[in-house]
Amino acid sequence: MANMALVQLSSLPQPEVAGPKMGAPIAVVGVAGYAGGELARILLQHPRYSPKNLSFFGRADGETPDVSRPLSQVHPQLPIDDDVRVHPFSWGELERGGVKLLLLATPHEQSRLWIPEALRLGLRVIDLSGAWRLKDGRRRSMYHFTDKDGPLAEALQAEAVYGSPELHKNAIREARLVANPGCYATSIILALAPLLKAKLVDLERGVICDAKSGVSGAGKTPSPSTHFMYAADNLSAYSVFGHRHMGELLEQLHLSETQIQFTPHLLPIPRGILSTIYLRLTHEADGDAIVETMRQFYRDCPFVRIRQAGMLPQIQHIVRTNFCDLGAVVDEKTRRVVIVSCLDNLLKGAAGQAIQNLNLMLGWGETEGLL
Amino acid sequence: MANMALVQLSSLPQPEVAGPKMGAPIAVVGVAGYAGGELARILLQHPRYSPKNLSFFGRADGETPDVSRPLSQVHPQLPIDDDVRVHPFSWGELERGGVKLLLLATPHEQSRLWIPEALRLGLRVIDLSGAWRLKDGRRRSMYHFTDKDGPLAEALQAEAVYGSPELHKNAIREARLVANPGCYATSIILALAPLLKAKLVDLERGVICDAKSGVSGAGKTPSPSTHFMYAADNLSAYSVFGHRHMGELLEQLHLSETQIQFTPHLLPIPRGILSTIYLRLTHEADGDAIVETMRQFYRDCPFVRIRQAGMLPQIQHIVRTNFCDLGAVVDEKTRRVVIVSCLDNLLKGAAGQAIQNLNLMLGWGETEGLL
Amino acid sequence: MANMALVQLSSLPQPEVAGPKMGAPIAVVGVAGYAGGELARILLQHPRYSPKNLSFFGRADGETPDVSRPLSQVHPQLPIDDDVRVHPFSWGELERGGVKLLLLATPHEQSRLWIPEALRLGLRVIDLSGAWRLKDGRRRSMYHFTDKDGPLAEALQAEAVYGSPELHKNAIREARLVANPGCYATSIILALAPLLKAKLVDLERGVICDAKSGVSGAGKTPSPSTHFMYAADNLSAYSVFGHRHMGELLEQLHLSETQIQFTPHLLPIPRGILSTIYLRLTHEADGDAIVETMRQFYRDCPFVRIRQAGMLPQIQHIVRTNFCDLGAVVDEKTRRVVIVSCLDNLLKGAAGQAIQNLNLMLGWGETEGLL
Amino acid sequence: MANMALVQLSSLPQPEVAGPKMGAPIAVVGVAGYAGGELARILLQHPRYSPKNLSFFGRADGETPDVSRPLSQVHPQLPIDDDVRVHPFSWGELERGGVKLLLLATPHEQSRLWIPEALRLGLRVIDLSGAWRLKDGRRRSMYHFTDKDGPLAEALQAEAVYGSPELHKNAIREARLVANPGCYATSIILALAPLLKAKLVDLERGVICDAKSGVSGAGKTPSPSTHFMYAADNLSAYSVFGHRHMGELLEQLHLSETQIQFTPHLLPIPRGILSTIYLRLTHEADGDAIVETMRQFYRDCPFVRIRQAGMLPQIQHIVRTNFCDLGAVVDEKTRRVVIVSCLDNLLKGAAGQAIQNLNLMLGWGETEGLL
């Protein structure tokens, strides 16, 4: 983070360090939201980035003021640096800045509309919205995009890579368009992928995912259900049998709707997701075997931590980190398994995973800026 | 509360009790908000009221739907009783119901406009807004009422009684219009009134009030500062040197602006106010003497509890009660006193105090429905 | 609550009311804990009880001081009344007071030891601990009672009635010993009983219960997992496949261990339980049919509220009430059902349900003191 | 943080970077507590430290197990690295490791006893406890040290430097023993130092400090007042006129007890302090002048941020940073000033400030590891 707070610190002696190779310019759009703020925070600490090769923009939907202002006014927890500014969005500005890669923390509808243009201009894109995650158009209809997808959008959709580094690392490295996964979806997909691959899951009986998320997942726009008086001291289930992230589970895990179900709940905490996942094994295995299967699957994945039996994941262990923690308890007699999966919905569930994808796309170390 | 949940309970045997005399019909306007919901909850448990002599209305500003609906849909924590409904407001409905007294939990502007009409129709009114609390027109200008006050409003303002039962019990009994006090103001006025009356406060040095309130004080309308992500895990000062409740302190305590100051803070809790008040004594006194002065002042006041030294008030002791708890610590060497005052901003700071006033106006026992 | 705060209020005029018939003396043991405090609060407001026919005792394990002290010092949120005191426990004191019924809010071990003696003395007992809930001795071994059960304990265990008024109303009316249900168990049993009775649940596939509870369920003794820093902003699963309340589910719902599983979680809130329950129907039914089955089952049960589709239960709706709220969502294609069940663990999950049992045992109206 | 998670990451390609000069070995004692955990987290990310020149020890009072165990078991939020271990404390181990500097996050009593020995062994020490902060022995008696201070302790006390980098930067650079300031004291001292130096504060009228802290300030040992049920949804004042940090205010600000008072409160949040400070100016000045006075005072201080009028500090802006934010509102007519000061009690109020001191003592850049 030595690049921060330049004005304040300029008179202080700085250690001389031959630093890493810096990246080509990149831009963040939608920096005023929660995920956008985390993108900014991470990139300003990232060894490949500094205010010189970063630019920040607001959204294009009137939420953004007409004039630029310091990022530290928008996110007062960030170090003060009047040279790091949020600008009203403009394609011209992007081109003038020589931007090569775009991180979009914008609403679904805006991402759906803009990305064809961005690709046409030769940019690579990481989109944090749900707009380009689903291959199946019927499922995508849950997002109610108002325009009809033409052949270009169809082709782009086919090309888009689902940005789960643990599942699609090589495709992400080459991708023009990465659809960054949903927060709930990430917590569930990472929990299930190893056991499904090992054919340990009794799909006839199906999988049940009971997931709980902090309020930041609902976004920054004030609404009745993000009111402190609604969320505090409360817990509520919502979108039972109808949450948009279901489509990601089906496509990424190759399951049918009868094989998996998912119920989200709103927790009275700022951030963090805990998913409790219920399944039966196809054949006998003990807890150690299950843990070992997970460990093998993720042996090259620096951001998935497999907990030993006796120390189940909990939200405080992963908040403000890019880790997804997994743990499992097995009832051997009945072959029942309970998996607990935790991540920070704004990091591994959004901005952190996006930077992990960026690192892969640009050839940086996967953990740079994230540990 | 035996009058609740009539539909569900009608087939159950009920104990036969010769109950208290029931009251003439009354109405609550603005029942959908937090204070309105508390008014409804208390009145439905009040020994003098049942759905037969109560009616509930929404606000008149478009917030209310056109058709009536069950109160338990608006406040799902209340017992289900489809006969207890919230109606769109209408003066005609009030008259048809024979309503004699109106409780207004409406915005300041609406209360300012409506109350002359209500009094013209012969109703008595308890107004929970700030519209009629301040005698001094200059101070009242902080509420930015858009209409000019004519002679009628001037006369009504002169007649309005500030609804602090501990200070104005007799006037409240006879009042046509009671201006129910502000939540912060109640916590500070009750803390200071005994020592000021006993001329124990060094007014040359002045009084400093550092007050902290839960989020319900900010109302039900979603806004950036009532968003869970803003309020949770946070504390912030606001309206420094400029809060509207200051006028109430000045008028009720007969102080000038140089003699008292008040800083409100937003606490990350649903409800409750704690005010920490700093003053110097005019002459030596120990903690016991201060506590005794308070006890004497409130000896006939069932809702003010004076804590012994060693057990300062805290918010959990008063939440969901109509009590205001007071405690004091004295530094004898320097004559400095710290008073801690706690109340529930929705009860003793709003709806509870309003019912206390109602009990006085209608000749019921002061604590009925409130203990 | 007119019986409270006698000292403070004695000089005030009180309305004269011919009240209900008062009860014979009863006692609460373990009044200093959370459930004990709720028992005291409810009984002091109950139309059949006043300080004259109530007595309060501490626990017998050294937690209690040697001398009596005012209840309002132990629970400062209660109205001040120096005549309402907590006494060190003694059998002699119970006999001298003519106590006929005992409410025990004591640890399991203490309840197991004391109840034979209490019954021998002719007392009726409502025990809030888990000591006498389970008929199956093997399951009861989870409580690790240090003494061997003799024939007397065997007989008493056979006689003990599981205190779920919705399931065993008539037996409770006649019972000498009522074993008040566990909080998690109540939320799950009430959710499942109607559908199981109607043979709508596919038991081959089994039932999964994902339950979440506030911190008061863990008791008042400070421990690492009740530390604010552990519980706040967190969520954690615990006792997976091994929670003591499992036995109650099996016995009360007549299920085997392969037919139901249950995972508790610790929520960062003071009180409230939400259980999300997953099952498949044996044959097709829509949401209305499921709701109607529940309504019929609970048509004479004043404390179970069945929510319409579109308004699922949430914790804020039931906190500080004795209600258990139930709601269901059905996926007709796959016959999957999600039931959401909410209650306040200290009320319907403990003290409130105990008073409901007391009302039944003594012939009072079931809702007296509880609405 | 590239040095973390070595086991997991060893097979991944790492970018080659010519890094900064590494430091001589240092050790942290008391790493299991909250401040100790933050010290470990910061040092493991610090560009001058890696597991090779860091060692971690438990406390010496039996809280520590006899065998070493991975740090990531003690603080599960830290990246897993089985080579980073917590050892039982031993002086011999320190010497064998060639440790040159000791960070003590130990109880007051332990720090008082150990530091003479540590200095005798030639170590430099940063002590996070209150043991060596106060020059005045009478004030130090609030800590109730059981041993009598001999001449050695007297000399060491005279030599100890109060570790506020903003006040004593040069002395810290040379110090053998740095007494790291208290959390409340830091928030108040930094708020007042500029105006006191400028002789703007009317000391005749005195300064009032109303401070509020999150629960981590109370330490990790479970107790009634750190129980979630006590702290949540609550606010309470404590140690009125008697908090230990008062001595630091008096000594560092050169004030007498009649010139300043301080009331701490316990906030229902994990971390963060907000102090609201009331004073009168000796002569007229507007808000801009006050802000400018602060800015000038802190112009070389990278961790103090002065907020413009209109954006007062709040806890969310500084949580998990080493910043102390300051803001002021002036009432020009009456010369009254309200200063709001915020910091994270575990960082700028403890571990962060300790690392800032470490950087100064060892010649690193003041912000290394902290931005």
Give the DSSP per-residue string, C242-295.
T-TTHHHHHHHHT--TTTEEEEEEE-SSSS-EEEEEEEEBSS---HHHHHHHHH
The DSSP string of A43-62 is HHH-TT--GGGEEEE--SSS
Mutation site for C-interface testing, chosen from B1, B269, B308, B344 by largest number of C Cβ within 10 Å: B1
Picking from B216, B224, B229, the nearest residue to A229 by CB comes out as B216
User: What's the whole-number mean pLDDT along residues A146-157?
Assistant: 82
Res C299: pLDDT: 97
- Considering only residues 269 to 298 of chain D, which have any Cβ-Cβ distance to chain C shorter than 8 Å? 269-270
Percent of all residues in chain B with a pLDDT value above 90, rounded to a whole number: 84
Q: Strands A207-213 and A273-280, how do they pair? A: antiparallel
Q: How far does Cα C20 stand from its chain's mean position?
A: 26
Banded pLDDT at B63 (limits 50, 70, 90):
low
- CB environment B292-324: b (16+ within 10 A), e (fewer): ebbeebbeebbbbbbbeeeebbbbbbbbebbbb
Position B315 pLDDT exceeds 50: yes
Report CB contact under 8 Å: B267, D268: yes
DSSP C307: P
Q: Does C310 touch chain B (CB under 8 A)?
A: no
Res B343: pLDDT: 98
Residues whose CB is less than 8 angstroms from the CB of residue A308 and which lie 6 or more positions away in sequence, other chains included: A291, A327
Q: Reduced to 3 states, what is the DSSP secondary structure of residue A257?
A: coil
Mutation site for B-interface testing, chosen from A227, A236, A344 by largest number of B Cβ within 10 Å: A227
Res C14: pLDDT: 46
Report CB contact under 8 Å: A230, C316: yes
- Considering only residues 16 to 75 of chain B, which have any Cβ-Cβ distance to chain A shorter than 8 Å? 34
Catalytic entry in C183, C209, C324, C342? C183
Report CB contact under 8 Å: A14, D365: yes
Question: Cβ contacts (< 8 Å) between D237 and chain B: which residues?
Answer: 274, 276, 312, 314, 338, 340
Report CB contact under 8 Å: D228, C233: no
Res A64: pLDDT: 56
Q: Which of A202, A193, A211, A209 is nearest to A251 (CA)?
A: A193
pLDDT tens profile C131-162:
999 998 888 888 878 767 788 888 999 999 99
Gap from D213 CA to chain C (nearest CA, Å): 13
Position C27 pLDDT exceeds 50: yes
Banded pLDDT at B150 (limits 50, 70, 90):
confident
Size of interface A-B (CB pairs under 8 A): 54
Gap from C139 CA to chain D (nearest CA, Å): 31
Q: Are B87 and B93 in contact (CB under 8 A)?
A: yes
Report d(CA C25, CA C97) in Å as an integer: 7
Res D180: pLDDT: 98
Question: Cβ contacts (< 8 Å) between D73 and chain A: which residues?
Answer: 311
Percent of all residues in chain C with a pLDDT value above 70, rounded to a whole number: 93
Position A5 pLDDT exceeds 50: no
Position C44 pLDDT exceeds 60: yes
Res D138: pLDDT: 81
* Of residues C339 and B20, more confidently modeled: C339
Report CB contact under 8 Å: C270, D233: yes
pLDDT tens profile A218-268:
999 999 999 999 999 999 999 999 999 999 999 999 999 999 999 999 999
Position A326 pLDDT exceeds 50: yes
Report d(CA B61, CA B105) in Å as an integer: 13
pLDDT tens profile B220-240:
999 999 999 999 999 999 999
Res A183: pLDDT: 98
Question: Cβ contacts (< 8 Å) between A230 and chain B: which residues?
Answer: 228
User: Which helix (H) or strand (E) element contains residue A125?
Assistant: strand A124-127
Q: Which of A3, A4, A59, A51 is nearest to A25 (CA)?
A: A51
Question: Cβ contacts (< 8 Å) between A329 and chain C: which residues?
Answer: 240-241
Question: Cβ contacts (< 8 Å) between C228 and chain D: which residues?
Answer: 215, 226-228, 230-232, 268, 270
pTM: 0.94
Res D290: pLDDT: 96
Picking from B216, B226, B268, the nearest residue to A222 by CB comes out as B226
Res C18: pLDDT: 60
Residues whose CB is less than 8 angstroms from the CB of residue D223 and which lie 6 or more positions away in sequence, other chains included: C222
Picking from C14, C19, C365, the nearest residue to B12 by CB comes out as C365
Tell me the β-bridge partners of A264: A211
Q: What is the 3 state secondary structure string of chain B?
A: CCCCCHHHHCCCCCCCCECCCCCCCEEEECCCCHHHHHHHHHHHHCCCCCHHHEEEECCCCCCCCCCCEEHHHHCCCCCCCCCCEEECCCHHHHHHCCCCEEEECCCHHHHHHHHHHHHHCCCEEEECCCCCCCCCHHHHHHHCCCCCCCHHHHHHHHHCEECCHHHHHHHHHHCCEEECCCHHHHHHHHHHHHHHHCCCECCCCCEEEEEEECHHHHCCCCCHHHEHHHHCCCCEECCCCCCCCHHHHHHHHCCCCCCEEEEEEECCCCCCEEEEEEEEECCCCCHHHHHHHHHHHCCCCCCEEECCCCCCCEHHHHCCCCCEEEEEEEECCCCEEEEEEEECCCCCCCHHHHHHHHHHHHCCCCCCCCC
At residue B13, what is the residue type? P
Res A217: pLDDT: 96
* Of residues C218 and A7, more confidently modeled: C218
Report CB contact under 8 Å: A227, B222: yes
Res C137: pLDDT: 81
- Considering only residues 195 to 234 of chain C, which have any Cβ-Cβ distance to chain D shorter than 8 Å? 215-216, 220, 222-224, 226-233
Of A150-164, B348-362, D220-234, the least confident: A150-164
Report d(CA A54, CA A26) in Å as an integer: 5
Report CB contact under 8 Å: C34, D270: no
Res D6: pLDDT: 35
Interface partners of chain B (CB pairs < 8 Å, 3 or more) are A, C, D
- Regions in chain D scoring below 70 on pLDDT: 1-18, 60-65, 147
* Of residues A150 and C201, more confidently modeled: C201
Contacts 24+ apart (CB under 8 A), B156-163: B156/B115, B156/B116, B156/B119, B156/B132, B157/B132, B160/B132, B160/B133, B162/B133, B162/B248, B162/B251, B162/B252, B163/B126, B163/B353, B163/B354, B163/B357
Report d(CA D50, CA A263) in Å as an integer: 43
C324 in active site: no
Report CB contact under 8 Å: B223, A226: no
Res A187: pLDDT: 98
Q: Which chain B residue has the Cα nearest residue A33?
A: B229
User: What's the whole-number mean pLDDT along residues A185-202?
Assistant: 98
